[in-house]
Structure 1
Amino acid sequence: MAITGKTTVTGIIGWPVSHSLSPVLHNAAFQALGLDWIYVPFPVAPERLAEGIAGLKSVGVAGFSVTIPHKVAIIPLLDQVTPEAELIGAVNTVVAREGKLTGYNTDGIGLIAAVRDKLSFDPAGKNILVLGAGGAARSAVVSLALAGAAGVTIANRSQDSAAALAQLVAARLPQTRFVTRGLDCLSDAGLMAGFDLVVNTTSVGMAGDSFPGLALSSLKPGGCLYDMVYAPPVTPLLAQARALGIPCANGFAMLVAQGEAAFRIWTGVTPPGGCMEGALAAVL
Structure 2
Amino acid sequence: MLEVNGNTKIYVLLGNPIAQTLSPAMYNAAFRALQENRLYIACKVEEDGLEEAVKGLKALGIMGGNVTVPFKEKIIPFLDGISEESRLIGAVNTLYCREGELWGTNTDGAGFLKALKKVDPRGVEGRRVLMLGAGGSARAVAVTLAMAGAKEINIINRTLSKAQEIMEIVYGLDCRGQALGWDDKSIKEAVQESDFIINTTSLGMVPRVEEMPPLNPDWFRPSQWVIDLIYKPKETLFLREARIKGCQTLNGLGMLLEQGVLAFEQWSGLKPPVEVMARELERWV
- Which bin holds the TM-score, normalised by the shorter protein? over 0.9
Give 4+ residue runs of structure 1 displaced > 6 Å after superposition. Answer: none
2:107 — aligned with what?
Answer: 106
Task: Could you tell me which runs of 5 or more consecutive residues in structure 2 were left unpaired when the two chains were aligned.
Answer: none
Once the two structures are TM-superposed, the CA of residue 181 in structure 1 deviates from its matched residue by 1.1
Residues 1:133 and 1:177: Cα distance change in structure 2 (over 3 Å)? same
Once the two structures are TM-superposed, the CA of residue 186 in structure 1 deviates from its matched residue by 8.6
1:74 — aligned with what?
Answer: 75
C-alpha RMSD of the superposition: 1.7
* Whole-Å separation in 2 of the counterparts to 1:43 and 1:247: 38
2:156 — aligned with what?
Answer: 155
Q: Secondary structure at the match of 1:282?
A: helix
CA deviations over 1:75-131 (Å, ceiling 9, x no partner): 010111000111000000001243301101000111101111134451111110011
Q: How does the TM-score come out when normalised to structure 2?
A: 0.93
Contact 1:119 1:249 in 2 (8 A): no
Q: How does the TM-score come out when normalised to structure 1?
A: 0.94
CA deviations over 1:163-196 (Å, ceiling 9, x no partner): 122124423x1x2113111123598543322110
1:224 — aligned with what?
Answer: 225
Contact 1:186 1:192 in 2 (8 A): no
Q: How many residues are matched?
A: 281
Identity of aligned residues (%): 38
Higher mean displacement: 182-191 or 143-152: 182-191
2:26 — aligned with what?
Answer: 25
* Whole-Å separation in 2 of the counterparts to 1:274 and 1:216: 37
1:131 — aligned with what?
Answer: 132
* Whole-Å separation in 1 of the counterparts to 2:183 and 2:275: 40
* Whole-Å separation in 1 of the counterparts to 2:197 and 2:218: 9
> Which AA in structure 1 matches 2:39?
I
* Whole-Å separation in 2 of the counterparts to 1:158 and 1:84: 25
Q: Secondary structure at the match of 2:134?
A: coil
Residues 1:158 and 1:91: Cα distance change in structure 2 (over 3 Å)? same
> Which AA in structure 2 matches 1:65?
N
Q: Secondary structure at the match of 1:193?
A: helix
2:197 is the alignment partner of 1:181: no
Contact 1:156 1:182 in 2 (8 A): yes
2:211 is the alignment partner of 1:212: no
CA deviations over 1:48-98 (Å, ceiling 9, x no partner): 101000001110113010001110010010111000111000000001243
* Whole-Å separation in 1 of the counterparts to 2:275 and 2:250: 17
> Which AA in structure 2 matches 1:210?
M
* Whole-Å separation in 2 of the counterparts to 1:202 and 1:120: 25
